A and B are shown apart, each in its own frame.
Chain A
């Protein structure tokens, strides 16, 4: 049984119904075929305006409309895969490095490094604090890299996390932003799982941290108590970038809708030119542009997605708990659980984890992903989708 692929198949009933009711979203229906030619010949790397508008709107709604996204900063890429590679090309030279907390999505090793020549420097997170990134660990990883003459260009966060399924609380996120800002390095936030947050605590996107800053910058510097808050630090927005995709939140990995959203105008422009290497098919832009501008559908989808994810998570973790298997208790997002099988290992080693993994694959016949494939510093954890 395949439990190694993080797919979201929960809301296709709603999508199919929407499609049946909106035939002009397709260029192949009798209602939409008139538009076939214009869509088929459109190759402008800015993308269809309705597509960009719809994606910006969707991203805003996923964040409870706490922020707005500017459609002119929406840049296409060949899936999140292409988005990550393009951002790496834009921000770093061969030999430069990005810091990345472990455990992390194994695809990053290839997507960020292969053709770019960029390195990844892991920041090891520990189960003792639920694998949460600590500023101390971030700082020491950064200092260590510097000591080793590794030129760190940025930090890559995946929030919500794959494989942990956890989110960063607002204060930690703000501290991280301060750190990258103070050290003048880029912050790339992969928010591909943003719509899969199904439980409290509330999700805080880096876009909200940016917005807070921009709104406070307009204040006169006085706090609620009427006293001055002192000089506000300047946030260099040119260092902040978001990677997004519809592969996880909507369950459309086949449509290759990768998005780069940067607050840096030069990066937007460079990424947009590079998007020529992986534009979204206009047939798909047209469909998505239509679907995601339907507010009723989007609201319904986001809510149902959360509800069904919560239900599935509860049922699954409940079942595991019944047989004494624990999962990371702080997980409230994602399409998977981070399962703790350390007690089942012969010894606390990678070899023992691999041996246990083989048993699960060959004898229990479940395809799950072993923690070491995510560069987890502690053996015995498994991601189960």
Chain B
């Protein structure tokens, strides 16, 4: 049984219903095909205005309309995969580094490093404080890198986290931003799981966009932050369950990065056919509101049942206030022969070969402690 792929298949009934009721959103239906030509020939790397507006609208609604996004800062990429690579090309030179808290999504090793030549410097987080990133660890990793003559260009956060399924509280996020700002390094926030925050009060999720907004609106110390250092990566692959559509988004507060990333988007634009469909779908406020709410409800329900079932057999998962993501971070340390990577791998093989469940071992996420598994 495949439990190794973080897919969101919970709301396709809503999507299919919407699609049937909105035939003009397709260029292939009788209602929409008169628009086929204009869409098929549209190759402007700014993207369809309605697409950018709709994505900006969706991103805001996911954040409870606590912030607005400027459609002119929405830049396309080939999925979040392409978005991460493009941002790395924009903010760093070969040999330079990005700090990344562990455990992290294994794809980053390839996406951020392969063709760009940049390095990743891990910041090891510990189960003793629920793998939460601490400012001390961040500072220590930064200083150590400097000592090793590694030029750190930025910090990459995934919030909500993959594989942990946790979110950063507002205070920690503000401290992180203060740190990157003070060192004049970039902050890249991957918010690909932002609409999967399902537990507790969803309003407790704090997006980097809200921190930026606070700073802009601040009367006490206006514009303390250098916004040119702040960038968001987004995608519809996880929140909507559309990984096949390759909708990667770069949202940067830095005009030069927007300009550069937009030109680079030529290497991975979103198909105009898909821009047209989503430009229509995500502009429908009723649908979006319903989708976001149902998504949360169903994720919460699924999470509750799964973790309860695991608890009944004595298996714990990481619990840390708000939960998010399409997976749980399962603690099987007690089941290992010894606390080692080899023991984790041996346990993993048993789960794969005998229990016949495909789960992902913590070491593949660079987790510093063996025995944790991500289960989708």
Contacts and interface: CB of A to CB of B under 8 A. Distances in A.
A297 interface: no
9 contacts: A16-B33, A20-B33, A39-B244, A81-B266, A251-B40, A276-B78, A278-B268, A281-B246, A283-B274
Interface in B5-38: 7, 9, 12, 15-16, 19-20, 23, 25-30, 32-34, 36-37
A4 interface: no
A3 to B, nearest CB: 15
Q: Identify whether the interface residues of B are mostly helix, strand, loop, or mixed.
A: helix
Given A9-B37, A253-B43, A283-B277, A78 B78 contact: yes
Contacts of B56: none
A252 B26 contact: no
Interface string A1-26: 00000010100100110011001011
Interface of B: 7, 9, 12, 15-16, 19-20, 23, 25-30, 32-34, 36-37, 39-43, 78-79, 81-82, 85, 89, 110-111, 114-116, 237, 241-246, 263-264, 266-274, 277
A19 B28 contact: yes
B267 A284 contact: no
Contact of B41 (A20, A251, A281): A251
A37 B9 contact: yes
The 5 closest A-B pairs by CB, nearest first: A254-B272, A26-B28, A282-B244, A28-B26, A281-B271
A41 B268 contact: no
Contacts, number: 176
B244 A256 contact: no
A25 B36 CA distance: 14
A43 interface: yes
Interface in A62-97: 78-79, 81-82, 85, 89
Contacts of A29: 23, 26, 28-29
Contacts of A37: 9, 12, 15-16, 241
Interface residues of A, number: 53
Interface of A: 7, 9, 12, 15-16, 19-20, 23, 25-30, 32-34, 36-37, 39-43, 78-79, 81-82, 85, 89, 110-111, 114-115, 247, 251-256, 273-274, 276-284, 287
A115 B20 CA distance: 42
A243 to B, nearest CB: 14
B19 A36 contact: yes
A42 B7 CA distance: 10
Contacts of B277: 28, 283
Given A81-B267, A254-B42, A254-B271, A19 B241 contact: no
Contact of B242 (A12, A32, A40): A40
A255 B15 contact: no
A40 B241 contact: yes
B273 A279 contact: no
Nearest to A32: B28
B267 A40 contact: no
A366 B268 CA distance: 31
A15 B36 contact: yes
Contacts of B111: 276-277
Given A40-B244, A283-B245, A277 B36 contact: no
Nearest to A282: B244
B43 A254 contact: yes
B269 A78 contact: yes
Given A23-B29, A28-B29, A36-B12, A254 B268 contact: no
Q: Which of A9, A27, A39, A281 has the most CB of B within 10 A?
A: A281
Contact of B268 (A247, A277, A287): A277
A21 to B, nearest CB: 11
B100 to A, nearest CB: 19
A9 B41 CA distance: 8
A274 B15 contact: no
A41 B244 contact: yes
Contacts of B78: 78, 82, 276-279
Contacts of B27: 19
Contact of B40 (A23, A36, A41, A252): A252
A85 B268 CA distance: 11
A254 B276 CA distance: 11
Contacts of B267: 78-79, 81-82, 85, 111, 277-278
A182 to B, nearest CB: 31
Given A41-B243, A254-B40, A284 B28 contact: no
